[in-house]
Every structure is written in C-alpha cells, then in structure tokens.
Amino acid sequence: MKRSLLALSLAVALGAVPAAFAQTNSRADMNEVAPGGGAGGNDGDAATAGTKPGNKVKQLSAIDVSAALDQSRNSLSPDTGSSQYVIDQKAIQQLPLGDSTPLNQVILQAPGVVQDSYGGLHVRGDHANLQYRINGVIIPESISGFGQTLDARTIQSVKLLDGALPAQYGLRTAAVVDIDTKSGHELGNGGSVGITGGSFGTLNPNASLWGSSDRWSWFVTANYLENDVGIENPTPSRTPIHDHTNQVKGFGDISYLINDNTRVSFMFGATNNRFEVPNNPNQQPQFGYLDQTEFNSADLNERQKEQTRFGVLSLQGKWGKTDYQVSLGQRYSTVNFLPDEVGDLMFNGVASTINRSNRASTLQADFATPLGDAHTLRYGIYGEFERGNISNNSLVFPANPDGSQASTTPIGIYDATKLLARTWSAYLQDEWSIGDKWTVNYGVRGDRYELFRTESQLSPRLGVVYQATDSTTIHAGYSRYFTPPATEVIDDSNIARFNGTTNELPSGGNNLPLSERSDYFDLGVQQHFGSTLTVGLDAYYRKVKRLQDEGQFGAALIYSNFNYAQGRIRGAEFTLNYDNGPVSAYFNFAFSRAMGKQVMTGQYNFGEDELAYINDNWIHLDHDQKLSSSGGITYSFTDTTRVGADYLFGSGLRKEAPGVPNGASLPYYFQLNLNVAHDFNVGSFGKVKTQLALINAFDRTYELRDGTGVGVGAPQFGPRRGVYLTLQKDFSF
C-alpha cells in the first residue's frame, strides 16, 4: 500500500460521509441499540431496528458524550444470523485466576472452542483463523500464537462471534474475538496495583492507571510474568526441564473528544516474551557430531523470543445520522528461534536459527446509516499491506542417497525470503426490520489478496432472526467465505537447497499456500426461561475448497501453512446460562467433525505414504476434537466473599494410527479448577481484593499432543496441579 494510495483512500473514506450525508444539525442524534447477550450468554439476537433517531443532545458532560459515542460505534457492527457469546468483566473476575487469566483461557469458556498446545485455540474445527478486534478495529494477529499479546485486564467485555457472519466480517472467519476495552471516562480517576504468585515459580505483578480530564480520557495497563512452565511440558512430570519464561505486556488507550459528535483515539500495545523450549530427557541421538556420539537431551538449550507491538489512530463519531469510524494502524511482529547447535544436529540432523518478522499497515473505515425506521445501511473498506522477512541459517550434515549421514562435519545453508502482500476488502449490507418479529441482514463482500499470485472473491451473506415469542429467538444464516493464507506463517524456503543433506525433505511439491473458499450454513435457537435461565442450541456445516491448515514441521515452535483440496466441517453446540441472586453458572457442550482430503500445497512436509493415503481418503484434521465442554459455577455469600469452580473437558485431539494419518484420538481429559475470593478491609490502607485459585485440583495428567499426527512436533501435556494467590489494590484520586 503506497503512501499516496493510502492517503487517497483515507481522504475518500473521510470525504464520503460529508459529501453524501451532510446535515444542518450541529448536534448528534442519540441512538437506541437493543442489548445483545449478557455476560457468558450465547445470543443470536440482533439490534431490534438498528439505529433509531431520538432526542437531540443539547448539553452533555464528557462522560455522556463518551457513552453516546460508544453506542454510536456499537451500531457499526451487526450480529444478525451469527452466533455470539459474551464474557464481561464480572465473568472474567470469577474465573480462578481472575484478571490474571490469559486471554486464550478466557475464550476457552465459550462453546465450540478447543484448546491446543502453545496457547492455540480451535473454534468450530478451524485451525487458528481468528480475527481480533479492539473497539471495532482489526488488529492483525502476530506470528506466534503461544505468546499471548493481549491482556485480560484491558477487557470490559469480549464477544466471540462465529457462524454465518455478516458481510462486515471477513478474511479471518473461524471467529471474531471482539473486545471492548475499559474506559477512563467510565472508571473515573484511579488505578490498580497487584500481584499473582504461586506454583512453578509464578510471579505476575501488574499495574493499571485510568482517568479523565475534561475531554481527555486514558486507560493504560502493564504486567510482568515469569514462571517455569512457559510452554507445555513434553513429559508428565511436575517439574519441566528448561521451561522458564519471562513476559512483559502493555496496553494503552488515549482518547480526546473533539466535540459532542467526534472523538479521536490512539490505541497501542506491546509484548516482549522469552521462552526456554522444554526438554524431553532420555532421547537417543540419531547423528554423530565430529567425534561426539553422546548428548543428554535434558541439557538442550533451545530458546525462542517473540515481540509484538501495534498502534492505531482512530477518528470516530456521527455525521448527521451516519455513524462512522476510520482507523490507520500498524502491527509489527517478530519471532526468533535459537537452536542448540550441537544438540539439534545430533537429534534432528539440522540446527536452524530462524528469524521471522512481519509488519502490517492497515486502513479501516466503517459506516452505518439508518434509512427510515426499517433499514440500516452498513458499508466500509479495509486495506492491509504486509511486509514479511524470513531467514533460516541452518547447519546440516551431508547425506548419502539412502538418507544416512555421510559426514560428521556440518555444513551451513542460508535461505532468506521477502514477502509483500496486499489485501483490499469492501462490503455493503442492509439490516432490514420487518415488523416486530423478523430482522434480515443481507449483503455482499469483496476481497482481493495479492502475494505470489492474485486471488479474489465476491461473497454473498444472508442472516435472519425470527423473534418467535418474547422468550424464543431463532436465527439462521449463510455466508460465502474467502480466507487468504496467514502471511505471517507462510514459509517460502528453497527446499532444493537441502537435497543431499540430513534435512532433505520427504517429498517435493508446491509450497505456496492458496486462499480458502467455503460455504457456511448456521442455524440456532435460544430460549429464555424467565430472567434467570437461558438455553441455546446451534448447528453448523461448512463445505470447503482449498482447506487451510497449519503444522509445526520443524524443531522451532513456528507454524507453516498448507492446503487440503477439500474439507467438510460440521457440528452442534448446546449452551446453558443461569444467573439468580448469589448463584451464577454456565455450561457448554459441543460436537465437531473436521475432515480433509488431498494435500495440494506444502506437500514437501509429508512423506510419500502419507500423501498417497490422504490423496484417496478423507482424514481427520489434526486439531479435530469430537467432543468438548466447559462450565462453571459461582456462589456469592456476600458482596465481598465468593467461591467458584470451573472445568474443561475434551475427547482428545488426533494422533497417528498405523497406516492412517490422524487416524486415532488421544484419551479423554477433564480439568477442574477451584477458587475462593474475599475482600479484606485493612485499616487505613482500605480494601484489598484477594483470590486463591487451585488449578487442576485432581492433578489429572493428560496429553494435549503425543508428538504424532500431521504437523505435530512434540508431545505436550496439560498443566499439573498448582496453587496461586492474587492480591489486588484499587485506588482513586
């Protein structure tokens, strides 16, 4: 995206509103937006009639103006036809680790979400493919998934949108993680400091500051984490070997109210993470190094460094009756894998120092215009320019034609690639309210992706909500999806350079991934029983061409993508949410089946036998888990004392079976977590919040991965039992 083109696009986006919708009014109209799902609720409802004109605002305080603009921003995003699950700040604080809970663990409480190693998530049978939005702005995902970039302390509420999404959502389509952050205008002037500590050397201090002054508002937070279980243990032992991590995260949001109708904000975040890669003892070297034939695998010293930072400047508000938000952003992400040169050579036949970086510059503009009382027109554009750099500096041994080691003296091979990717998207949709019962959202989306080739698609979308009774809501939707490959994990290495070495790949084949194209169908019903109990049932089916998947095909904890020619994914989800007095509870249960056939890109990562089998047979995707469930209950004795419990259950991800890739599944697992929280009044020091958490209370040992299966690099076990104490002190001034 050239600067001149970016400037022109921004000018067009900003100029479109006054040119088409200029009004003589000097004040904004207030919006009435029907509420969506409650905390921890699955909601197929949509806003009853989009944005409706109300009384004109005469004199508003900065808090009132900020709230009105938040409401205006919310009206940009429809939910019609899709499924949504909302987790608010209260629900996060009721989790065992409270605000110290990693974001991926928060999202795991939603239905249809499956945990994987390195903090990975799979929603409805998809591998990654999540879109993250903060205050309505798309933040391109970082290169590596297990170093969490975002912090739960920033969240006012988080909504997981999946299913048949409206035309506004595209590119990353497994689900949209839509985060609304805390605001200084709402919180007042103050802050918070605290610390979480406990098992496995965990130390996690944090500090936040928020406030407002006239038309300025700010919220900033930062925390530091270190422990001895940074990455899943490859053994079932309680004490991982070489698994220390240090992580620093920060986030800020500063806004200024230009007038009652307009707000400018700057949002930024950064993370800097260091990981030791854990060791699996008692492994036997496969290669000799010079005159050395023995190496203790417990002494390996592989490390990985990750950095991500982003910044977004947004102009948001109302022009006449039109709500808008225009944003310019940039995200930079880098991953560096540092091998144990001697050890990796002896165990793997290759030791690669890997550096990957990706810089994404973005332009996003969204608009919503009510047309009468029955229609709301939404439209917008998105542009992204990515510049990626990949370098692999490898040591390998020469090999004989049969693959055996020909020399114990390593040789060096250097490979570097530069990637330039451009993405352009535009959408147009209408939300149509038909009487009191029906809401229809129909639209179309166009996407264009340029990397080694140019791919594009025009995608129709249709979502319907039927309010059968005051307590029964039925939603249905169809979406055509276009999903470009994740540029940050494309590996364009020159595989021919490794021919005749101990890192010669098992087969040849095209290594350039293709964009995925799919048809998605979704149908659900939600039933309210009074004001305390909500039950939901949702079913989905996705037919896919060029199905994308990712795998870890080397020692580095970095994924590479590839395509199956065909895919078919189906499933169903049941949700229950209860909130009555001192008791709140939720229960989710999901069934899923995700299959693929015929590897058509990245074949060089597969053996000839694997390719032959997958070419003729449907196989389970490596991240396919048939059954998954999550749930929790909290009882509040008083406003200051509560106890709670939650759990995760799964039927196990896939593993290798004799002669069948991903032909078997790992054993079922169940993890129960307990917590108790109490607020103490400590004299003149005031109130101190405390929370004691017991993770994996039964200390059940279970495997997430056993080291086999397509694109699975090593075994990984779930967490062992741990005890953690949080102390938190809020203050105001």
pLDDT at 51: 34
Q: Domain count of the chain? A: 1
DSSP string, 640-659: TEEEEEEEEEE---EEEETT
The H or E element spanning position 4 is helix 3-21
Q: What is the 3-state secondary structure (H, E, C) of 551-592?
A: ECCCCCCCCEEEEEEEEEEEEEEEEEEEEECCEEEEEEEEEE
Q: What residues have CB less than 8 Å from 365, skipping those under 6 apart?
A: 10, 13, 14, 324, 325, 326, 327, 380, 381, 382
Nearest to 504 by CA among 388, 404, 627, 596: 404
As given in the structure block, the two tokens for residue 64 are 């009132």
Rounded Cα gap, residues 74 and 159, in angstroms: 12
pLDDT at 694: 97
Q: What is the 3-state secondary structure (H, E, C) of 388-436?
A: EEEEEEEEECEECCCCCECCCCCEEEEEEEEEEEEEEEEEEEEEEEECC
The Cα-based distances of 549 to 75, 102, 127 in angstroms read: 34, 24, 6
CA dihedral (506, 276, 197, 701) in degrees, to 10, reads 40
Rounded Cα gap, residues 58 and 61, in angstroms: 10
The H or E element spanning position 7 is helix 3-21
Q: What residues have CB less than 8 Å from 338, skipping those under 6 apart?
A: 302, 303, 304, 305, 353
- Residue whose token pair is 């663990």: 105
Rounded Cα gap, residues 498 and 730, in angstroms: 57
**Strand, coil or helix: 349:** coil
pLDDT digits (tens, 9 = 90+) for 630-647: 999 999 999 999 999 999
First-residue to last-residue Cα distance in the chain: 45
pLDDT at 44: 38
Nearest to 368 by CA among 122, 78, 716, 104: 78
pLDDT at 180: 92
Rounded Cα gap, residues 654 and 646, in angstroms: 25
Nearest to 223 by CA among 101, 139, 321, 324: 101
436 within 8 A of 467, measured Cβ to Cβ: yes
The Cα-based distances of 507 to 348, 401, 707 in angstroms read: 17, 14, 21
- Residue whose token pair is 């639209």: 443
As given in the structure block, the two tokens for residue 51 are 């944005």
Sign for the pseudo-dihedral over CA of 651, 653, 656, 660: positive
pLDDT digits (tens, 9 = 90+) for 212-229: 998 999 999 999 999 999
DSSP string, 289-313: BTTB----GGG---EEEEEEEEEEE
Please name every residue paired with 690 in a beta bridge, in sequence order, or none if there are none. 678, 727
β-strand pairing of 113-115 with 121-123: antiparallel
Neighbours of 649 (CB within 10 A): 16
pLDDT at 32: 32
Radius of gyration of the chain (CA): 26
Nearest to 479 by CA among 194, 80, 139, 202: 80
Q: What residues have CB less than 8 Å from 5, skipping those under 6 apart?
A: none
The DSSP 8-state label assigned to residue 500 in this structure reads: T
182 within 8 A of 161, measured Cβ to Cβ: no
Rounded Cα gap, residues 646 and 696, in angstroms: 10
The Cα-based distances of 146 to 100, 232, 611 in angstroms read: 16, 10, 29
Rounded Cα gap, residues 155 and 83, in angstroms: 20
CATH number of the domain that 712 lies in? 2.40.170.20
Taking the chain (733 residues) in runs of 10, the rounded mean pLDDT of each run is 42 38 32 35 37 38 67 67 83 91 90 87 89 91 67 90 92 91 89 96 96 92 95 92 95 93 94 93 92 92 93 94 94 93 92 92 96 93 94 91 90 90 96 92 96 93 93 94 84 75 75 90 93 94 92 62 92 94 94 94 82 93 94 94 96 91 93 96 90 96 86 84 96 90
Q: What residues have CB less than 8 Å from 123, skipping those under 6 apart?
A: 112, 113, 114, 129, 130, 160, 162, 174, 175
**Strand, coil or helix: 118:** helix
As given in the structure block, the two tokens for residue 560 are 């590479």
Domain that holds residue 182: 3-732
Q: What residues have CB less than 8 Å from 100, skipping those under 6 apart?
A: 152, 196, 204, 206, 724, 726
pLDDT at 722: 96
The H or E element spanning position 5 is helix 3-21
